[in-house]
Structure formats: C-alpha cells, structure tokens
C-alpha cells in the first residue's frame, strides 16, 4: 500500500480514563505511525471526538451547536496527536474544512497533496464540517478524496461481529466480510451513512483493535487478525 487513511476513535486516546488524553497510550500509537511512515507509507488520519463530546448526547442545546462542539473536539484531538508525532520527529499538518485561524490549514485536495509530497503525516480534523455527520463519514469522504488504498479502522473492539460482543458472549467475529453484507445487516463497524459511502465508492477497510500491540503495523504488513471488509 502507498497511501492509507487511519481512523482512531476519540476514546482510544483516553486509555483507561475514557475521557481526555492518556499520553502513554498516544505515544505508543504515534510510534506505530512513525514506523509505517518510515517504511514510505503516506498516512492520513481522522480522529473521533468521543473522549470529549458527542453532539447527540445533549438533550438541551440545539443539535447544530452540539455538533459544532463535537467537531471542535476532533480539532483538539488532532492538535494533540499531531504534536506527539512531532515530538517523535515526524512532520505533520492539520487540515480542517472550516477556518481555524492559525491553528490549522484549510482543507483542499491540492494542499493535502503538497503536504504528502513534503513527507508529512496529514490530519483531517473537524469532521466533514457539517452537523448530523460523524468522523466515520469524514473518514470515508477523505479516504475517497485522497485516493487512499484502504481505510485502517482502529477501534475498541477487535473486528466486526454478527452481534455486539459487549452484550452477547456468543457473538462471532468475521475474518472477512463484504461491505454489502455490512450494510445489509447494519453491522456496527461504522455508522450506516459511512458504510454506504464505502460501498458506493468501493473503499476497502481493515478493522482491528487499537489496544492490541502493534496492531496498526500488523494491519499494514498483512499480519492481520481483525476483519477485512472487501468491496
Ligand atoms: N461531528 C459532526 N460532523 C462531522 C463529524 C463529527 O457534527 O462531520 C460531531 C458530532 O457531534 C459527533 C462528534 O463531532 O458526535 C464527535 O465525532 P465522532 O465521530 O467521534 O462521534 P460519534 O460518531 O462517536 O458520535
């Protein structure tokens, strides 16, 4: 693979604490990113915002505003992970679909290509820039736009199951599944909007657990123990 889109959930940054940042966890993730970057892979990264805020959790404020807070949470997450990557010696750039002053660069395909050409890890913060969407949707959108070969979906669970493994001890994990089946069965790999876009745009996906040692590196090297989603 030459170019991938890595999706990290916001909670993955929080470690055991479940909220905010856990520095040791993020340094481990960033070391894996450095390893695959040094092997020549171009890496775009989308990070969720669940370690701070989810728009749909507020029953009080307007959903549009609640989602804006969620999108800003993803900007905070990208600034944090980007700077941990820099601490490890990598070059990075953060793009947002809305102006964030001096904090980030405004997203455009051309600017992203220039950034990759300079050997940078590229962060896509702020989701799609629109309420009622998710960072899953932003992941597929950016993956398609930058012509990534695959999405690497690093999650709290180690793949896609036929039912929720947290509530069903007999849930069975798929080693491989087609995106059509994921959509038809509404399996919870990504939200449905994102899965449908993956299906329409024929974007393959590797789903695995972030907390398994070297799981990102292993996914890239084909030593893969999660679920492969075919198109
Ligand atoms: N969000 C949004 N539009 C986007 C991406 C994210 O409004 O394109 C907001 C939304 O409020 C979401 C929050 O940002 O709940 C965090 O994003 P994430 O995808 O982690 O949320 P989740 O899917 O877990 O709700």
The answer to whether the pTM exceeds 0.90 is yes
Name the strand (E) or helix (H) holding 3. Answer: strand 3-8
- Which residues form ligand 1's pocket by a CB distance below 6 Å? 10, 48-50, 54-56, 66-67, 70-71, 73-74, 127-128, 130-131, 133-138
Structure confidence at residue 12 as a pLDDT band (50, 70, 90): confident
Structure confidence at residue 109 as a pLDDT band (50, 70, 90): very high
Q: Taking the domains of the chain in order of start, what are their residue ranges?
A: 3-230
pLDDT digits (tens, 9 = 90+) for 161-209: 999 998 999 999 999 999 999 999 999 889 999 999 999 999 999 999 9
Structure confidence at residue 57 as a pLDDT band (50, 70, 90): confident
Instruction: Quote the ligand 1 centre to 223 CA distance (angstroms).
Output: 31
Residue 224 has pLDDT above 90, yes or no: no
The number of helix segments (H) and strand segments (E) in the chain equals 7, 9
| 3-state DSSP assignment of residue 8 | strand
Structure confidence at residue 156 as a pLDDT band (50, 70, 90): confident
CA of 129, closest atom in ligand 1: 8
Cβ neighbours for 4, distance < 8 A, ≥ 6 positions apart? 41, 42, 43, 44, 148, 149, 150, 151, 152, 220
- CA dist., res. 9 & res. 12, Å (int): 5
Tell me which fold the domain 3-230 belongs to.
Carbamate kinase (3.40.1160)
């Amino acid at each position: 693979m030459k170019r991938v889109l890595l999706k990290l959930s916001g909670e993955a940054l929080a470690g055991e604490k479940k909220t905010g940042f856990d520095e040791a966890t993020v340094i481990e993730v960033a070391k894996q990113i450095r390893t695959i970057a040094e092997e020549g892979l171009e890496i775009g990264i989308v990070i969720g915002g669940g370690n701070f805020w989810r728009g749909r959790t507020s029953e009080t404020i307007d959903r549009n505003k609640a989602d804006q807070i969620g999108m800003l949470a993803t900007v905070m997450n990208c600034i944090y992970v980007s700077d941990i990557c820099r601490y490890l010696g990598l070059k990075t750039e953060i793009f947002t679909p809305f102006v964030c002053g001096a904090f980030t660069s405004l997203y455009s395909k051309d600017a992203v290509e220039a950034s990759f050409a300079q050997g940078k890890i590229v962060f896509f913060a702020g989701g799609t820039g629109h309420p009622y969407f998710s960072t899953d949707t932003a992941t597929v959108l950016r993956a398609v736009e930058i012509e990534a070969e695959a999405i690497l979906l690093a999650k709290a669970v180690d793949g896609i199951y036929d039912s929720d493994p947290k509530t069903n001890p007999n849930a069975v994990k798929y080693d491989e599944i087609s995106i059509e089946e994921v959509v038809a069965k509404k399996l919870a790999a990504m939200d449905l909007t994102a899965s449908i876009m993956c299906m329409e745009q024929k974007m393959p996906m590797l789903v695995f657990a972030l907390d398994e040692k070297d799981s990102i590196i292993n996914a890239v090297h084909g030593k893969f123990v999660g679920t492969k989603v075919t198109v």
